Structure 1
Amino acid sequence: MSNHTSIIGSGPNGLAAAIAMAQAGYAVDVFEAEQILGGASRTLELTLPGFRHDFGSAVHPMAAGSPFFRSLPLAGHGLRWVHGLSALAHPLDDGTAVVLEQDLNESARLLGEDGPAWRRMTEPLARNWDAFAKEILGPLPLLPRHPLLLAGFGMRALLPSTILARSSFRSERTRALFAGMAAHSFLSLDAPLSSAIGIVLAASTHAVGWPVPAGGAQAIPDALAGYLRSLGGAITTGKRIASLDDLPASGSDLTFFDTAPRQLASIAGSRLPASFRQRLQRFQPGPGVFKIDYALSEPIPWTAADCRRAICLHLGGSFADIARSEDAMARGRISDRPFMILAQPSLFDPLRAPEGKHVVWVYCHVPNGCTVDRTEAIERQIERFAPGFRDCVLARHVSTPADLEAADANLIGGDISGGAMSVAQTFLRPTWKQYATPDPSLYLCSSSTPPGGGVHGMCGYRAAELALRRRR
């Protein structure tokens, strides 16, 4: 046994797999096609010098709450979390905003008549976050260690968001807040399972908050890489692996792919049966995103002052407005008033922009591979809640779905979630036995495996865990 592992791709999942294998005593080599490691978790000067923009992920509740990341000494390798004064703000057309605080008691107070229902939904999960996260951030367990906790979550999570919001909350304000949470699923809000991610994100707010890494998302893979190197692992950037023959001649005992399923099929080639390669090729990507990064002369002039307290905002208005936007996306159309996720990290992290200036990150959902320019619709939505926004813009950098894929081959058609989150693809991910393939030395560890998209590293950790268990 050579006890040597190769990792193709240096996103958080690839680095998590690399660390888990290095901790088990394996020699590890990571190969990254781009010049900068991190996959979609990179920070770049996309607009003007001195303005640091996150290429992909920006706000990281699941990274801060990741059971695997929390077990690692990442603070010793430069990772520091920055929180806003509030976790999240959701502006409405009446000039106010629904605010979600990290403190559950304060959130319940602010939500008024819906406070008790919000507490019932989130408190058991937030209070037992470590146990809950270990249960859900991986393949669904046949014998859960905390069955009552998981059952309480599951009864709500299976419901469409439209049903859960109507049955749980009386106020349209709270329903709008939950719609923004649920829309992270990239599902129509009347689809089964669309409530699941909304509940998880709501619980994570009160467990770990919605922080950003100081200096940018790049700090997460940089810290992972620093720890991996301390374990003896090696990372090579600027080396695209097009076939297994491109790996070092010494060969590997195990190879992990932090890639999309179709790239696994292409790189592995004849090492995998033709029928399995076809299955990987048929795996459906999810909807895409259209993203804009802004350099601003001053903070966004939100009508609702509460919006200036939060790093992250959901822009879309009422539950009905957001439902219409996400339904259009699910049907392959675009919305004139798209639901958007916006981050304004420089309000709280001075490392992001020159003194007195600011960066903003925003995207809306679009059909996979959409070629329609959404710049005007996005800016119109921001102006809806912050008149005068355009007057603050110094520069903008537009990333279409094609641009995102060109910069990171895993983002097929602009898909940032690792594949369509249909019921079938949620429970039946593309590989054999979750992460394994018919070749016992090849594993998929990307966000196309359980638990799916998000910066948490659990796909990589779970894949390594399976590989080590099978080797033993």
Structure 2
Amino acid sequence: MGSGPNGLAAALTLARAGLRVEVREAADTPGGGLRTEPLFRPDVVHDICAAVHPMATASPFFRAFDLPARGVELLTPEISYAHPVTPTRAALAHRRLDATCEHLGPEDGPRWRALMEPLLRHSQGLVDFVMSGQRTFPADLAAPLLLARGLLAHGTPLAAHRFRRPEAAALLSGVAAHVVGPMPTPSSASVALLLGHLAHTAGGWPVPRGGSARIAAAMTDDLTAHGGTVTTGARLDDLRELRGARAVLLDLGPKEFLRVAGPLMPPAYRRALTRFRHGPGAAKVDFLVNGPVPWADPLVGRAGTVHLGGTQQQVFAQESLVAKGFPGDAPFVLVVDPSAADRSRVAADGHRPLWAYAHVPHGDRTDPADAVTARIEQYAPGFAETVVDRRSVSAAALEAYNPNYVGGDIAAGAMTLRQALFRPVPAWDPHRTPFKGVYLCSASTPPGPGVHGMSGYLAARSALRREFGVRTAPGLSPAR
């Protein structure tokens, strides 16, 4: 149930193991967070949810699935992400580590290198350890040690003293803010180390040519090629509707699972699910603009992703305030310009999409359009004049679009240290439920949020072992 990246990853893994698989999706189109649509005019398409995919070549599932071999072209911008510290001065995370260190100067360049180089040397081990849900013995023993060292240095108040100048500190805090929660914490540091070092890999932070829907299409094509089917407009209201299946994998969060199966659950498991907590929300704005964003620092325009949050101190203060339920007066805004890498997203007359969201309190109903526009204008004077049209979605409305985003929580659960390890409940196999043959495979299960497919893949592997006696993982490459 559910055709987001995790649902599709689970489905095609089961289909490749030789099972007869049906995917049911409540919406009218498959894809979940991988949908791309023309919102304002037919020749300009917009990514409705996820737009940038650092895990598309890094996660174990997608490494094996091999998107490029399936015709999905992953385009990497020259600068993975930028972070303006003032309206005219920005920190830049180039794909080339040397260029980033040179940009950060003689004081913080060596510090940035000392942080990132060991992570890059052990990149696959680090990614595999984090993406495994930390329930397998790491193949690269250095990876968890590097992660632990980084959590102490950047996930505690010590983070305020790791760099000499504001640029490097802001650069790391901006990527740490992807945790969408209070900062600094071990969880925010873990996100910063994982995504931050991937910005300097060959894969970088790519966008798929033509939009995120290309990833969903490749996954759906593989599923159907192996006999699977996808049925849209099929909302689940009662788990008993699926009693004929030998295995059921639910790409649902705890709240939706309680809705469809709550009265049937053992009381202890039901209580454990009700203790699952959600974090702050995201409020999104899709812009149609008639030209490049007029960033005050022109180098920012070469970045695919831009973090607007000011200094490290300002990012920490604002994100911690939002986590307590207060909006603050300077929202953290994340901007994605797909055309920085993908020129096919630019129409003949120069019109193009711009993707942005602000971090807001959980369940916030405020229309974010004016606040996000003003925040971008602060660093790109004249931006408002380039806006031809815009569509905004509040945090509360985001949940209406996707019930897994409770209160606009796009992480599908607060990324506290406890919930990062034990989601949705404390269990050695958190994908398994008390119901025979029923498994959870959403981002509310390990390893958590992001387009990596691993929650679905891990749930499918568990179902194959327990329900079908299949212990060997099916091949995922196009050749198979």
**TM-score category by the smaller chain?**
over 0.9
How far apart are 1:269 and its partner, in Å? 4.4
User: Paired residue for 1:330?
Assistant: 323
Q: Is 1:163 matched up with 2:139?
A: no
- Give the 3 Å change call, closer, same or farther, for CA 188–269 of structure 1 in structure 2: closer
State yes or no: 1:110 paired with 2:100: no
Match for 1:292 among 268, 278, 285?
285
Give the match for residue 42 of structure 2.
49
Cα distance in 2 for partners of 1:281, 1:140 equals: 24
Aligned partners of 2:284 and 2:356 also within 8 Å = yes
Q: Paired residue for 1:150?
A: 144
| Closer/same/farther in 2, CA of residues 164 and 21 from structure 1, 3 Å limit | farther
Distance in 2 (CA, whole Å) between partners of 1:65 and 1:332 is 34
> 1:452 is matched with which residue?
448
For 1:184-213, what per-residue CA distance to the aligned partner results, in whole angstroms no more than 9, with x for missing partners?
111221334321101111111122201111
Matched with 1:390 is 384
Query: 2 CA distance for matches of 1:287 and 1:108?
Result: 33
Deviations 1:93-131 (A, max 9, x none): 151221111112222222222222222222222233222
> 1:273 maps to which residue?
266
The amino acid across from 1:246 in the alignment is E
Match of 1:127 among 113, 121, 126: 121
Match of 1:4 in 2: none
Distance 1:211 1:142, change over 3 A: closer
**Distance of aligned partners of 1:309 and 1:143 in 2 relative to their CA distance in 1, 3 Å threshold:** same
Report SS of the residue matched to 1:302. coil
2:314 corresponds to which residue?
321
Alignment of 1:20-31 (within 5 A): 20-31=13-24
Whether the 8 Å contact between 2:187 and 2:420 is mirrored in structure 1 is no
Pick which of 135-144 and 38-47 moved more: 135-144
SS in 2 for 1:64: coil
Counterpart Cα distance in 2 of 1:261 and 1:358 = 37
1:263 equivalent in alignment to 2:256: yes
Alignment of 1:245-260 (within 5 A): 245-247=240-242, 251-260=244-253
Secondary structure at the counterpart of residue 34 of structure 2: coil
Q: Which amino acid aligns with 1:358?
A: R
The count of aligned residue pairs is 463
Aligned to 1:243: 238
How far, CA to CA, are the matches of 1:437 and 1:445 in structure 2? 11
- In structure 2, what is the equivalent of residue 195 of structure 1? 189
Residue number in structure 1 paired with 2:304: 311
Residue 274 of structure 1: how far off its partner (Å): 3.2
**Amino acid paired to 2:272:** R
Separation in 2, partners of 1:452, 1:158: 21
Greater mean deviation of Cα atoms: 416-425 or 385-394: 416-425
Which residue in the other structure is 1:228 paired with?
A: 223
1:218 equivalent in structure 2: 213
Deviations 1:272-324 (A, max 9, x none): 32332232233222211111000011111011010111111111111122122
Confirm or deny: 8 A CA contact 1:316 1:381 kept in the other structure.
no
Contact kept in structure 1, 2:87 and 2:379, CA below 8 Å: no
Does residue 1:423 correspond to 2:421, yes or no?
A: no
Query: How far 1:73 sits from its partner (Å)?
Result: 3.9
Asked if structure 1 preserves the Cα contact closer than 8 Å seen for 2:129 and 2:143, the reply is no
Q: How many Å separate the matches in 2 of 1:167 and 1:320? A: 11
Q: Identify the residue that residue 443 of structure 1 maps to in structure 2.
A: 439
CA–CA distance in 2 between the matches of 1:153 and 1:161? 11
2: CA distance, partners of 1:317 / 1:230: 48
Q: Secondary structure at the residue paired with 1:235?
A: strand
TM-score (norm 1): 0.93
SS of equivalent to 1:232? coil
Residue type of the alignment partner of 2:448: G
Letter of the 1:68 counterpart: F
What are the superposed Cα offsets for residues 218-261 of structure 1, whole Å, 9 maximum, x if unpaired? 111111111111122111111112123434x7x21111111111
Residues 399-453 of structure 1: per-residue CA shift (max 9 Å, x gap):
1112212221211111100101123222221244311111230111100011111
- Among 462, 465, 471, the alignment partner of 1:466 is 462
Q: Partners of 2:466 and 2:158 in 1: how far apart?
A: 40
Aligned counterpart in structure 2 of residue 100 of structure 1, from 88, 93, 102? 93
Looking at structure 1, the residues matched to 158 and 191 of structure 2 have their Cα atoms a distance apart, in angstroms, of 13
Moved over 6 A (4+): none
CA contact (8 A) 2:181 2:279 kept: no
Residue 89 of structure 1 contacts residue 100 of structure 1 at CA under 8 Å; is this kept in 2? yes
Q: Is the 8 A contact 1:297 1:357 kept in 2?
A: yes
Unpaired segments of 5 or more residues in structure 1? Answer: 1-7
Percent identity at matched positions? 39
Structure 1 residue aligned with 2:430: 434
